[in-house]
Structure formats: C-alpha cells, structure tokens
Structure 1
Amino acid sequence: MPPRLPIRHISSIYSIDSILTLLFVQLRFPARGCHSLPNIQIATKTFAVRKTRQTLARLPGMEKPPGQRRSASSHTAKGVRGVLRPSASILILSPTNQVLLLRRVQTSTSFASAHVFPGGNLSSFHEGGPLNLEAPEAHQDNELYRLAAVRETFEESGIVLACQRDGSGPLHLPSSVIEAGRKEVQASRIRFPDWLATVGGIPDTASLTPFTRWITPLNMPKRFTTQMYLYPLPLSSPSPSHESIMPTPTHDGGIEHTAAAFDDARSWLARARAGEVILFPPQYYLLHLVSELLTGPPPTDVLDTTGYYQAQRDALMAFLRTTPVVGREGGKVHRTAGIPWADKVMSPAVIFTRGADGRVVLGLDKPGPELERSERGGDWERVVLVRFGKGGPREMEVRWREEVVREEREAKL
C-alpha cells in the first residue's frame, strides 16, 4: 500500500470538503481494490463544521488551486535540459493476460513512433504538486503517481480504471459518456477525480501494483522519474451471470497516439525483434519479465480457461512479492537482490559495446544520479543488449549479465 500523503500534497486536487470525503473513504477501504470491495455504501459525510474548514484552510498548501491549464498529457511546458519530470505508467492486463500498448505519434518529442504503456506526466491541475524532486521520497510510489497513472490511461486509451462509489465493484460506463468525459479531462476543464464523481466513481488506485521505477540517464534531453505499475483487469467468469466487461482501448485522436491494442507479451517481443514495432529498453525489459509467466493462451484441451489465466496471474504476483530477487540459480547474489520489485529503481547505463556484433550492453543496477547516495537500486543480474539507430532501438535481448560478460571476455582471448 502506498504511504499516506501529507495534506499539503492533495490540497490542490480537491476542495476541502472533497479532501475530507477522500480521507474518510481511505479509512473505510485502506488497501483493497474495487475488484474485491465489499458491498457497503460509502458514507459521503458532509463535514460542515466551520471550525474544521477554517483550520484546514490555514494549513500550508491549502491556498486556492492554480488556474486551469492544458493537460500535462498533451501540452507540457518545455523544461530545462536534464530536469526530471515525474510521470507514471501502467502495464494493463486484459482478461486473457494480454498487455496494452499504444503507438506514439511520429512527431512526438519522446519515444516517437514507439509502442509504449499508457501513462504520462503528473499534472498540477489534476494531481496537485509540485513534487520536490530533490527529496528521495519523490521517487517512491505514492497516491499522486497512482492518480496520474489512472488519469493518463483514461486520457490516452479511454479505459476507466475506477470503482463504483457505492463499493459494489468496477465502474462500467457507456462509450458516449467515456468519450465526452475524456475530452473534458484532456482539456483540463474538469479535474479527473471530480469527473469520476459525477458519474458515480472513484479512481481504483488500490488495485495498482508497483513494478519498478525508471529514471532517465543524464545524457538524454528529456528526463523522467517514472513509476511503473501493473493492473489486471477482471478475469472473464465461467458463469454467464457474472460476465466481465472487456474495455476496448482507443487512441486519443492523434494527440499523442495513433493506435491502441492488446497482445500477448511474447507476441510484442517477437514483433519488436522482427522490426514490426519499436520498443524502448524499459518496455522491452518489463515485457520480457512478464512474458516468462504470462505465456499466452491455454492448450486446446484446457477447459477452465479462467483458472488457467488466474494461475498465470498468481505466479506473476508471487514473483513480484519474492525477495531476495535472484532469477538465476547459482548466479551472483548482488545487494540489489534484496530490493523488492516494487522498490527497484533503474537508470540504464552502458557497461560496454560488444565486439562481436556492436550492440550496446546496458546495465540496470544503478538508480540514477538523484539517488546515487541512497540504498536504492535496480536489477544487477540482467542486462539489455540493444543496437541504437535512426529507426529506434533494434535487436534487443534481455540476458544474464554474467553470461554476457563471460562471452565478451572469452572473445578477447
């Protein structure tokens, strides 16, 4: 569960009454997503005590929210080279454990034409802020990152990751309502949580599982500190009376993306190796990890397909919860093995260039310059092999570091 935020961090998201309601909801449902919420009415108390309102209004950060501005998803102010931008992204699993990727527009200033997970920058209008990026706490999972991840997914794909306000389960909305709300949120005419409230929902941030953080290296013109999450959509039930609804992703009309689709993780990787799609190292690496457990559709003789997909999810969640994180028997146990996947921070760094094929070997154990004096770290065991060119990253592989280093050493003998 994410750490509770100081009141100053959420003050610009909601009105004072909304903050009190939010805090009440968090107390009633402290760590459960809407897929498992009890059917209990959430009491939206009216806290009209004047003294309480006056006390809150005097707290730091409770000043009037800034004027409306364009969404951070589509109109981000130009930043100074090297300045970090907080962002969040989600690996969304379909009821058949496929992964959603969006194809970015060719004119994008970051990840142009690449396939990416839905996500984007935190918005001072929607989530509040700004975060103090000099503080280590700014590079940890918290409610601001979760809200941004859910909002950006809605803006970019039209998928609503929300619970019904009465606690009865996931929120399902007609496509016409979704598209109308999407335009309002994209244009920052209404805050995302406030729009959800108008249609009877609350953001399902509790169902997000933290799954690594990525900090862009110093040599890149745009830098991000990106919190990654995993979100499984409800499985299809074998009972017709409990049929789940599979949302259909759509692109955002060409603002940032031109396509949105689910596919098996192994299929995305194969398409990247064949040059059919462009993936960058973070996306390729994470797809590689989940592909080892989400192996695709069941054999034809499997009758309980729901149980099959649930077993895949259980194996993935067990993998994410296991510490120490040692993936290879007999491999070196590095200090980063003691860092859970939820807390791993990776800032890709070149280890060397292979003499055999000229591909770059990227290490993933360093957390980036902002956290170099902390105990944070990433994945020492694995490396990413990649060839960078004008067409984007190509010929990528995720391999064991010790094997790659040994091969290079032997090639020089």
Structure 2
Amino acid sequence: MTNTDSGGGVPVRPAATVMLLRERPGLEVYLLRRVRSMPFAPGVYVFPGGGVDDRDTDRGVRWAGPSPAAWAEVLGTAEPLARALVCAAVRETFEESGVLLAGPAESGPVADTRGPDWEADRAALVDRSLAFSAFLDRRGLVLRTDLLRAWSRWITPEGEPRRYDTRFFAAALPDGQSTRDVGGEADRVAWLDPAEAVAAWRRGDLAMLPPTAYSCASLAECGSLAAVMAAPRDLSPVRPELREVDGRVRVVVPGAAPDTP
C-alpha cells in the first residue's frame, strides 16, 4: 500500500507508530534504538511502529471500540486505510515491544503477554508465518481501538530514499502488561521522561529524528497521562524539508525555530 509522491516519484508508504506511556510516578515514554544495520534511521531512538502491510488490510480482524469509519473521520482518510493504520499500530507495537492493545470482546485488555506461547506467536507474526487475524481469533481477542489516541502525522522529506506517511498514536501501557526487549530491529530499549529525552537529544546524547523529538516535546508539555489522552490535537500533515544548514544537510521543520523542540 503506497502512494507515489510527485517529488521524483519516490513511493510514500503509509505507516503507524505508537507512543507507549506510563506514570512511574511521572510520565514516561517507551523508546527503542534501531540497530545500525537498518536501512532506515539506523542508530536512532524511535517509538514502536512500522509500515502498513497486507496483514493490516484484513477485514477479518475484529474490533472493539471506535469503528474503522470513525477512525477514518479522525485520521482524515478513507476507511480501508484507516483500518490498516490502526491494525498496523497494534500489530507493530506487539511485534516490537510485546505489548498487545487487544483483549476479550467483553472485558479489558489482555493482562499479560509473557511466556513461551506468546513469544512464539510474536515471532510468527514477525516472520509472517502467522496472520494477524488468525493470531487474534485463536486467542479469542479483538483490537481495543479505544486504547489508541491519534496524535500527529509526519511525512518523510522529499529527497530521502525511503519515505513514509506516518500516523502517530498515544496509548497507555495496559495494566498487568510490561514491555520486553524482543531484539530484532532494536539493540536497546528504555522508558524515559519525555522532557529528559528532549534534553538528551539537544545535547547530542540521544539520537532522534525530528518527529520523535517533537513528539517527546509535546508529551512533556502535557505532563501527565490524563493530559495526554485529553489534549486536543491537530492532525494536519507535518512536512519536514532537507536543507543545507552551516554546510550540512539537515532535516528542518518549516516554521519552527532552529533549536526547537
């Protein structure tokens, strides 16, 4: 599922990423450092997420919470893409953190996803030997779309060899669940205070792309999980640009001061 961008015909792939949050007692967000062998954003800290794929368009995936039509209105897109983005957000979060935003139809989210059987299913989703809908059906689960909060939309700058149109979501870590270092695309994971993450980014101690840094800054402004989930959000696309600054090509967010976020 791609769109062809007018800037050089580079395909722009829809993607979804989830800012997992908890309070311990202050607000913390979960970040992974991508391994340096990755073709896109190697060595930088990101939220769990990735590109939409065919598994995410499966209409057999069952939902509890806002419908695909409701999400289409929120995200400002067609219903099939809205369905795929929400599915990708839940699937990628489980694949990359072990946290599953799903549960039995008549109750809350799954209380625990640890153990060899869960890990076997997670690995099968990663290698695509298990369909996402089959995984949920076998365990009697439905997507808990009410656990997601649409946050922002970022489009990779023209000129990059890989481009994504990414919807950012916020979600609280479900009670009873815990993240785990699942390896694969990440070589380090951490729960960080969003303000401290931004400060480390400014010092050059924590590598982040602008969408991640700006998202951490917006979380820090909220200050609490309740404030994050209640904050009004503008989902207009943010389109960073590649510009030469002081003899170096940098990613610049139009209209933002050089030292922001």
With the length of structure 1 as denominator, give the TM-score of the two structures: 0.52
Aligned partner (choices 109, 117, 126) of residue 170 of structure 1:
109
Paired letter, 2:50: G
Task: Provide the rounded CA distance (Å) in 2 between the counterparts of 1:210 and 1:126.
Answer: 17
> Given the alignment of the two structures, is residue 245 of structure 1 paired with residue 198 of structure 2, yes or no?
no
| Map of 2:237 onto structure 1 | 345
Task: Provide the rounded CA distance (Å) in 2 between the counterparts of 1:360 and 1:86.
Answer: 23
Task: Provide the rounded CA distance (Å) in 1 between the counterparts of 2:250 and 2:45.
Answer: 21
Structure 1 position 353, deviation (Å)? 4.3
Aligned partner (choices 24, 28, 33) of residue 98 of structure 1:
28
Deviations 1:120-164 (A, max 9, x none): 0111134349xxxxxx83699712101001101111111111122
Paired letter, 1:116: V
Task: Provide the rounded CA distance (Å) in 1 between the counterparts of 2:237 and 2:147.
Answer: 21
Paired letter, 1:317: M
Residue 190 of structure 2: SS of its match in structure 1? strand
CA RMSD of aligned residues (A): 2.9
| Map of 1:62 onto structure 2 | none
> Given the alignment of the two structures, is residue 111 of structure 1 paired with residue 1 of structure 2, yes or no?
no
Q: Summarize the Cα distance change of 1:216–1:183 in structure 2 as closer, same or farther, 3 Å threshold.
A: same
Structure with greater strand share of residues = 2
| Map of 1:216 onto structure 2 | 156
Paired letter, 1:108: M
Q: Summarize the Cα distance change of 1:276–1:361 in structure 2 as closer, same or farther, 3 Å threshold.
A: closer
**Identity rate, percent:** 28
Gaps of 5+ in 1: 1-8, 10-79, 130-135, 235-243, 295-311, 322-339, 365-379, 386-395, 399-413
Q: How many residues in Structure 1 have an aligned counterpart in Structure 2? A: 236
| Map of 1:257 onto structure 2 | 186
Deviations 1:105-132 (A, max 9, x none): 1011111010001000111134349xxx
Q: Is the 8 A contact 2:222 2:228 kept in 1?
A: yes
| Map of 1:288 onto structure 2 | 217
| Map of 2:93 onto structure 1 | 153
Q: Summarize the Cα distance change of 1:261–1:144 in structure 2 as closer, same or farther, 3 Å threshold.
A: same
| Map of 2:55 onto structure 1 | 125
| Structure of greater relative contact order (alpha carbons < 8 Å, 6+ residues apart) | 2
Taking the TM superposition and a 5 Å limit, the aligned residue runs for 1:200-211 are 200-211=140-151
Aligned partner (choices 329, 345, 363) of residue 253 of structure 2:
363
| Map of 1:60 onto structure 2 | none
Paired letter, 1:168: S
Q: Is the 8 A contact 1:88 1:121 kept in 2?
A: yes
Q: Summarize the Cα distance change of 1:122–1:359 in structure 2 as closer, same or farther, 3 Å threshold.
A: closer
Paired letter, 1:91: M
| Map of 1:188 onto structure 2 | 128
Q: Summarize the Cα distance change of 1:272–1:88 in structure 2 as closer, same or farther, 3 Å threshold.
A: same
Taking the TM superposition and a 5 Å limit, the aligned residue runs for 1:75-94 are 82-94=10-22
Task: Provide the rounded CA distance (Å) in 2 between the counterparts of 1:359 and 1:185.
Answer: 37
Deviations 1:342-385 (A, max 9, x none): x221011368847xx98968334xxxxxxxxxxxxxxx5xx152
Taking the TM superposition and a 5 Å limit, the aligned residue runs for 1:298-317 are 312-317=224-229
Task: Provide the rounded CA distance (Å) in 2 between the counterparts of 1:384 and 1:155.
Answer: 36
Task: Provide the rounded CA distance (Å) in 1 between the counterparts of 2:32 and 2:79.
Answer: 25
Taking the TM superposition and a 5 Å limit, the aligned residue runs for 1:220-231 are 220-231=160-171
Task: Provide the rounded CA distance (Å) in 2 between the counterparts of 1:350 and 1:223.
Answer: 13
Q: Summarize the Cα distance change of 1:284–1:141 in structure 2 as closer, same or farther, 3 Å threshold.
A: farther
Q: Which has the larger radius of gyration?
A: 1
Q: Is the 8 A contact 1:154 1:160 kept in 2?
A: yes
Task: Provide the rounded CA distance (Å) in 1 between the counterparts of 2:18 and 2:252.
Answer: 23
Task: Provide the rounded CA distance (Å) in 2 between the counterparts of 1:100 and 1:229.
Answer: 13
Structure 1 position 81, deviation (Å)? 6.3
Task: Provide the rounded CA distance (Å) in 2 between the counterparts of 1:177 and 1:94.
Answer: 26
Task: Provide the rounded CA distance (Å) in 2 between the counterparts of 1:211 and 1:125.
Answer: 23
Q: Summarize the Cα distance change of 1:126–1:269 in structure 2 as closer, same or farther, 3 Å threshold.
A: same
Structure 1 position 316, deviation (Å)? 2.7
Q: Summarize the Cα distance change of 1:184–1:246 in structure 2 as closer, same or farther, 3 Å threshold.
A: closer
Task: Provide the rounded CA distance (Å) in 1 between the counterparts of 2:154 and 2:242.
Answer: 15
Q: Summarize the Cα distance change of 1:221–1:139 in structure 2 as closer, same or farther, 3 Å threshold.
A: farther
Task: Provide the rounded CA distance (Å) in 2 between the counterparts of 1:139 and 1:187.
Answer: 27
